[in-house]
Amino acid sequence: MAQQLALPWTEKYRPKHVAEVVGNADAKEKFVAWIKTWLAGTPSKKAALLYGPPGVGKTTLVYAVANDFRLEVLEANASDVRTSEALKRRIMSAVRELSLFGYRGKIILLDEVDGITPSQDRGGLDTILQIIEISRHPVVMTANNPWDPKLRKLREASMLIEFKRLTRYEIISALKRICSKEGILVDYGVLKEIAKRAKGDLRAAINDLQAVAYGKKRVTSQDLMVLWERSAQLNMFEIVRSIFMARTASQAKSVLAQPNLNYEMLFHWISENIPYQYGESLEAIAEAYNALSRADVFMGRIKRLQNWTLLPYALELLTAGVAVVEHKPKFRFTRYSFPQKIKILSLTKEKREVRERVLEAIARKCHTSKREANLEYLPYIEIIYESNPSQGRKILRWLGIGERTFKKIARKKEA
Ligand SMILES: Nc1ncnc2c1ncn2[C@@H]1O[C@H](COP(=O)(O)OP(=O)(O)OP(=O)(O)O)[C@@H](O)[C@H]1O
Ligand SMILES: [Mg+2]
């Protein structure tokens, strides 16, 4: 359970040592050799530009090398350097100074130099060239695309080190390491699918792994659903539009052919946007909401009873029921808005998750359902905790709920 509150795995498992950085052996070797020339006082080039696709370990390698060689990293996002005069001054003096006690030196890291837009600001790139010029320490830059003409001078001043996409095999092996450290058992097919989707980007793969393994000890191909749902949200605008535009039931239902439609999300989107789309006709709004409310009844039953045979009815209402209404106004282009409800839900996500865990703990200990725990147990525990904290703490201890966790969700005492 503890893993639910944990750090993003990309951070938790960011390699600390060069040896742990997967893949791109040539790039690693070249970079380490270059740092060594610096430490020996004879660098061939003052700067290095690590370039390649996202999520392959460019930034990670810099930190790992720094750690292995006891170097301090002074990092600045390259585009910040230009916007902030103060930051620029700080870096300018830092690159001249020696390192803090205990370090053998430092690395100046300017991350994502391709983010600089010279059209808006000529100074940014010049500042970096200046930094390279005066620095007494290795200057390392990273970029996804180093071939942009605007970066020509930086390229000339730097040792170029190319990173390639990671292979599927490399990604799978990195994922396996995380699984074993997390103590979770993940089917090989799942790892393969995640690695395939990642297209060489280990950060994306790790994020996907965390999403599918969320709160689980054992992960099978069924859990991959989560990922499909996530990509479906991208074109929700188009889906909503085709439903409202549809003139026949079957046109409206054609969106259901989408393999990865998130029905619940669709429900909120439709619900939020009916008044905008049907604004000209109150009757149409009423009819559409009527269909939606019936869909809602079905969806509630489906969730409560896990009765999936009801799904086609709910979906029929959600699509055709909303699209084919008697007083339908002529279709107008409408700027759909993102459902408020989902916004609020995501704002309160952490709190809801904590609440879920507390309810689970109560349910488990008291041999009851989470629903009962919510209605019949939690309120009393709150009252006891408020009126007699030491008694309350005893109960929490027995339930295995941390007091801090509990306080996060407990209702606030009236002032
Ligand atoms: N080669 C790798 N070995 C081990 N872990 C990696 C590797 N590449 C990426 N990761 C994981 O992915 C995360 C992101 O990697 P990193 O920040 O180094 O990517 P990047 O190449 O700098 O990408 P970007 O171009 O987006 O900045 C790391 O925190 C780490 O968990
Ligand atoms: Mg990076």
Query: Per-residue DSSP letters for 321-376?
Result: IHHS-TTPPPP--------HHHHHHHHTHHHHHHHHHHHHHHHHHHT--HHHIIII
- Measured from the alpha carbon of residue 56, the closest ligand is 1
Query: Is the Cβ atom of 14 under 6 angstroms away from ligand 1?
Result: yes
* 95, 60 Cβ separation under 8 angstroms: no
203 lines ligand 1 (CB under 6 A): yes
Ligand 1 neighbourhood includes 27 CB (under 6 angstroms): no
141 Cβ below 6 A of ligand 1:
no
Q: Is residue 55 lining ligand 1, measured as CB closer than 6 Å?
A: yes
Residue 9 Cα, ligand 2 centroid: separation in angstroms? Answer: 16
Nearest CA to ligand 1 atom 18: 57
CA-nearest of 380, 374, 376 to 359 is 374
Is 54 near ligand 1, meaning CB less than 6 Å away? yes
Bridge partners, 77 (sequence order): 111
Q: Cβ distance 275 to 285 under 8 Å? A: yes
Q: How far apart are CA 202 and CA 177, in angstroms?
A: 13
Ligand 1 contacts CB of residue 60 (under 6 A): yes
CA of 107 to the centre of ligand 1 (A): 18
CATH: 3.10.450.50, 3.60.20.40, 3.40.50.620, 3.40.50.300. Which one for 24-162? Answer: 3.40.50.300
Q: Are 159 and 50 in contact (CB under 8 A)?
A: no
**Atom 7 in ligand 1: residue holding the nearest Cα:** 57
Pocket flag, ligand 1, residue 204 (CB < 6 Å): no
Mutate to test the pocket of ligand 1, among 11, 22, 49, 56 (most ligand atoms within 8 A of CB): 56
Which residue CA neighbors atom 16 of ligand 1 most closely?
Answer: 57
User: Could you tell me which CATH number the domain at 167-231 has?
Assistant: 1.10.8.60
Which atom of ligand 1 sits closest to the CA of residue 61?
18
Q: Does 62 contact ligand 1 (Cβ within 6 A)? A: no
pLDDT by residue for the chain (415 residues), tens digit each? 333 334 678 888 999 999 999 999 999 999 999 999 999 988 989 999 999 998 999 999 999 999 999 999 988 776 666 666 767 777 888 888 877 777 888 999 998 887 776 655 567 788 889 889 999 999 999 998 899 888 899 999 999 999 999 999 999 999 999 999 999 999 999 999 999 999 999 998 998 898 788 788 999 988 887 776 555 555 687 789 889 988 888 889 888 877 667 788 899 999 999 998 998 899 999 999 999 999 999 988 888 887 788 888 999 999 999 999 999 998 877 777 777 766 666 667 777 888 888 999 899 888 888 888 888 899 889 888 888 889 999 999 999 888 888 888 877 654 3
Q: Are 202 and 171 in contact (CB under 8 A)?
A: yes
CA dihedral (388, 391, 396, 400) in degrees, to 10, reads 170
Q: How far is the CA of 59 from the centre of ligand 2 (A)?
A: 4
Atom 26 in ligand 1: which residue has the minimum CA distance? 54
What residue's CA is closest to ligand 1, atom 4? 21
For residue 46, what pLDDT is reported? 94
How many residues are recorded in the chain?
415
111 alpha carbon – ligand 2 mean position (Å): 6
With the most atoms of ligand 1 within 8 angstroms of its CB, the residue from 24, 59, 173 to mutate is 59
Instruction: State whether the beta carbon of 113 lies less than 6 angstroms from ligand 1.
Output: no
* Residue partners of 323: CB distance under 8 A and separation at least 6: 243, 244, 245, 246, 247, 249, 251, 252
pLDDT at 201: 94
Q: 56 CB less than 6 Å from ligand 1?
A: yes
Ligand nearest to the CA of 177: 1
Sign of the alpha-carbon torsion through 341, 342, 348, 351:
positive
Cα dihedral angle (167, 205, 14, 345), rounded to 10 degrees?
A: 170
DSSP one-letter string for 58-120? HHHHHHHHHHHTTEEEEEEEHHHHHH-HHHHHHHHHHTTS-PPTT-SEEEEEEE-GGG--TTT
Q: Is 66 in the pocket of ligand 1 (CB under 6 A)?
A: no
Predicted local distance difference test score (pLDDT) of residue 140? 96
**Whether the predicted model's global pTM rises above the 0.75 cut:** no
CB of 138 shorter than 6 A to ligand 1? no
C-alpha angle 215-364-342 in degrees, rounded to nearest 5: 45
Q: How far is the CA of 14 from the centre of ligand 1 (A)?
A: 7
Task: Write the CB contacts of 265 (distance below 8 Å, at least 6 apart in sequence).
Answer: 229, 232, 233, 236, 339, 342
Q: How many CB atoms lie within 10 A of CB 68?
A: 14
For the CA of 60, the nearest atom of ligand 1: 18
What's the rounded Cα separation, in Å, for the pair 202 and 197? 10
* pLDDT score of 271: 93
Is residue 144 lining ligand 1, measured as CB closer than 6 Å?
Answer: yes
Verify whether ligand 1 is closer than 6 Å to residue 57 (CB atom).
Answer: yes
Q: Would you state the pLDDT for residue 289?
A: 96
Helical ranges in 249-347 per DSSP H? 249-253, 263-277, 282-305, 311-316, 322-323, 340-347
